[in-house]
Amino acid sequence: MKRLALAGTTALFLTFLIAPAAMAEDKPKPPKSVRLYVFDCGSLTMSAPATFGFTKEEIGEKQPFAVPCYLVVHPKGTLMWDVGVIPDSQVNGTTQGISTVTKTLKSQLAEVGYSAGDIKYLALSHLHSDHTANANDFAGSTWLVHQNERDAMFAPAPAGGRGGRGGPMASASYIKLKDSKTTILTDKDYDVFGDGTVVIQYAPGHTPGHQILFLRLKQSGPILIAGDLYHLPQEINMHRFPTFEFDKEQSAASRAKVEAFVQQTGARLWIEHDLATFTMLKKAPAFYE
Ligand SMILES: [Zn+2]
């Protein structure tokens, strides 16, 4: 017994000796230029074309949606953008309702050398539950949000039946953000690291303070991660809108502005839920830079 206990103590002592050095090596060094990692945070099976303004003849009966999460690593810090549909603690490769998640966000972050506690900034495209599942894990980050979105997230009940479609599951998933260090954004572009490479744009309509992310990468060029400004690429040319927009006129105005911006900058437009886009993207641990 005594020998065993001694062995245990020695092992513990060695762990203390080794751990700090190993940990220091594990932390990735800031890159020289901006990197973007795309994580697989699951999928959704929608089966209501009318909800997105289409007939089943136009887009089929079922619409498989991707659910990506994104990590931006800038020389000056990190930004997590959208955090999944099922909390990591409940991920076991099975399906919850229309959602399926096979890999935790935590494990995918770890694979590229990060944990939620390392992340400097958190931004959600919007409050819906398929974008907020792991938000509580990032409560130690600085939260970048518009006032009207934040208000909708913590409103006791959706005002006038509009907006705040987060539901109880969504609010549980982000409740800890209430006490996070928070930066309230305005309707002007928000340049996260001050050099124009990572910019949050206000694109309201889908929800009160819906936002999108513009990246200017050295090799990959300009990319616009469009949140749920659209769900399907057909919405662009066929001018269709989901039935559950917070304000459809606002969405139309946001889309017009974004489409002009894409024309002008030549940015690639990534519709987050578009499975065709998601399928062809490089996934972490590979990255765009
Ligand atoms: Zn969504």
Three-class DSSP category at 227: coil
Structure tokens that stand for 65 in this block:
């949606």
> Has residue 42 got a pLDDT over 50?
yes
Nearest to 214 by CA among 114, 125, 129, 146: 125
Sign of CA dihedral 102, 213, 30, 121: negative
Quote the percentage of the chain above a pLDDT of 70.
87
Q: How far is the CA of 44 from the centre of ligand 1 (A)?
A: 9
pLDDT tens-digit readout, 103-143: 999 999 999 999 999 999 999 999 999 999 999 999 999 99
Span of 7-11, 99-103, 104-108, 246-250 with lowest mean pLDDT: 7-11
What pLDDT score was predicted for residue 163? 41
- Asked if the structure places residue 187 within a domain, the reply is yes
Residue 12 lies in a domain: no
Ligand 1 midpoint to CA 120 (Å)? 23
Residue 19 maps to a domain: no
How far is the CA of 261 from the CAs of 34, 81, 85, 127, 264, in angstroms? Answer: 21, 21, 29, 24, 5
Helix, strand, coil percentages for the chain (3-state, nearest 5)? 35, 25, 40
Backbone angles phi, psi at 3, to 5 degrees: -60, -45
Q: Would you state the pLDDT for residue 158?
A: 52
67-93: average pLDDT: 95
**Residue at 123 is within a domain:** yes
Can you tell me the mean pLDDT for 47-63?
A: 93
Number of domains the chain contains: 1
Q: Which of 104, 173, 227 is nearest to 235 (CA)?
A: 227
**Measured distance CA(105)–CA(110) in Å, rounded:** 9
- Residue 24 included in any domain: no
Pairwise pLDDT comparison (115 vs 96), residue with the higher score? 115
Cα(5) to centroid(ligand 1), Å: 53
| pLDDT (tens digit per residue) in 176-228 | 999 999 999 999 999 999 999 999 999 999 999 999 999 999 999 999 999 99
Q: Which 3 state secondary structure label does DSSP give 278?
A: helix
Give how far Cα 251 sits from Cα of 45, 49, 230, Å: 24, 19, 9
pLDDT at 237: 93
Q: List the CATH number of the domain containing 204.
A: 3.60.15.10
Residue 82, in any domain of the structure:
yes
Q: How far is 103 from 91, CA to CA, in rounded Å?
A: 7
Q: Taken in order 158, 259, 57, 40, is the CA torsion positive or negative? A: negative
Distance 40 CA to ligand 1 centre (A): 14
> 131 CA distance to ligand 1 centroid (A)?
6
pLDDT at 213: 98
Return the higher-pLDDT residue of 155 and 276: 276
CA dihedral 48, 61, 90, 145 (to 10 degrees): -50
Task: Give the other-Cβ count within 10 Å of 236's Cβ.
Answer: 17
Determine the distance separating the centroid of ligand 1 and the alpha carbon of 206, expressed in angstroms. 10
Distance 226 CA to ligand 1 centre (A): 11
**Is residue 24 over pLDDT 50?**
no
- Ligand 1 centre to CA of 17 (Å) is 46
Question: What's the gap in Å between 216 CA and the centre of ligand 1?
Answer: 24
Name the nearest CA neighbour of 217 among 110, 100, 70: 70
- Is residue 9 situated within a structural domain? no
Backbone angles phi, psi at 70, to 5 degrees: -135, 140
Q: Reduce the DSSP state of residue 179 to 3 states and report it.
A: helix
Question: Which of the four pLDDT bands, split at 50, 70 and 90, describes residue 162?
Answer: very low
> Domain limits at 232?
31-280
Q: Is pLDDT above 80 for 231?
A: yes
Residue closest to 241 by CA, chosen among 51, 38, 16: 51
Q: Mean of the per-residue pLDDT values for the chain? A: 89
Give residue 160's pLDDT band: very low, low, confident or very high (50, 70, 90): very low
Residue 171 maps to a domain: yes
251 CA to middle of ligand 1, Å? 15
Its pTM stands at 0.88
Kindly give the distance from the C-alpha atom of residue 23 to the centroid of ligand 1, in angstroms, as a whole number.
36
For the segment 90-109, the average pLDDT, to the nearest whole number, is 90
Residue 132 CA to ligand 1 centre (angstroms): 10
| Predicted local confidence at residue 95, as pLDDT | 81
